[in-house]
Amino acid sequence: MRKEIIELLKKENKLSDEAISELKDINIHDFSEIIEEIGTQPTEHIKASEISKDLDTTWAGKNLYVFDEVKSTNTVAKFLAMNGAENGTVVISEKQTDAKGRSGKAWASPIGGIWLSLIVKPNVDYSKLPMITIGTGVAVAKAIERTGITSAEIKWPNDIIIHDKKVCGILTEAVTTFNTIDSVIIGVGIDANIDIEDFPEELQDGTTTLANELGRKEDENVLIRLFLEEFEKIAETFNNGDYESILKDWRKRSYSVGKIVEVREPFNKNFDAYVVGIGREGALIVEKIDGTLEKVISGECIIKK
């Protein structure tokens, strides 16, 4: 994180080479206000004023920081969260140059997409983190549906699928002190108005964009506003402990249930299974070849058929 923050400060001419050479003796967290200042400078494509203009939320997105380019919005959001950023603060970048998805996979983030990270402080323990990812997926799907697309589905645990192709990924990370969760960073990447040809060749067959599905471009500022409104509704439901309502919305849009998948869990052998459903805590319920049921709490499921 330190290296990325220093590079951002240097790119924006906030630090000289001489100052950078002396940074080993300086607390990088002293620069949080400068990072916030950079995030309020004018940008070309995504504008905080356009997002805020008709934003119907109480706390989500009330503090918006928009950058023209960062390595990762999750890293910048994590830095701000560690330096007192309020619940609902959003970090957006028109382009990411070194973004990561789950399991450290590279995430292509050219101009034309929506690359944002949301800081939330839900006051929960680790067992509830999967439900935050589940709820975010529902919020993204509902926001996409408000653009006129009726076929958005959710692939456990963190992808939004349209017509069997990925249009969005979600990465949830906790900022902790010892065993306490101080805040949760929710990274959301939506392929909005990108040309498929702008993606790496190996990703093109399995990827779609909202513009491709709609036959027109969708205003990124409007889509961000729609997501923040839907997310706040889901968050309030989550805070009230009504997880079943969130799971009900997820099940209606499930891409995974009823499919044969290859389950890949950290530190475990991969295995094939049939997806039965999703549990109350957000774990995927699968039936293994021998007929036993198993909860998959983390990892990924590769659709086989």
At 14 the pLDDT is 73
248-298 residue pLDDT tens: 999 999 999 999 999 998 888 899 999 999 998 899 999 999 999 999 988
Half-sphere exposure of 252 (CA within 13 A, CB side): 12
Torsion of Cα atoms, 13 then 18 then 23 then 26, to 10°: -90
Q: pLDDT tens-digit profile of 190-211?
A: 999 998 888 778 777 889 999 9
Question: Which among 305, 241, 250, 299 has a CA at the least distance from the CA of 278?
Answer: 250
- Residue holding tokens 């509902």? 142
| Integer Cα distance of 66 and 43 in angstroms | 7
Quote the CA–CA distance of 261 and 259 in Å, as a whole number: 6
Q: State the pLDDT at residue 123.
A: 85
By DSSP bridging, strand 271-278 and strand 284-288 are antiparallel
Establish how many alpha carbons lie within 13 A of residue 211's alpha carbon, considering only the half-sphere containing its beta carbon. 14
Give residue 103's pLDDT. 53
For the chain, residues with pLDDT lower than 50 are none
Q: What is the pLDDT of residue 22?
A: 64
- 223 and 114 Cβ atoms separated by less than 8 Å: yes
CB contact burial 49-64 (16+ within 10 A = b; e otherwise):
ebbbeebebeebbebb
pTM: 0.92
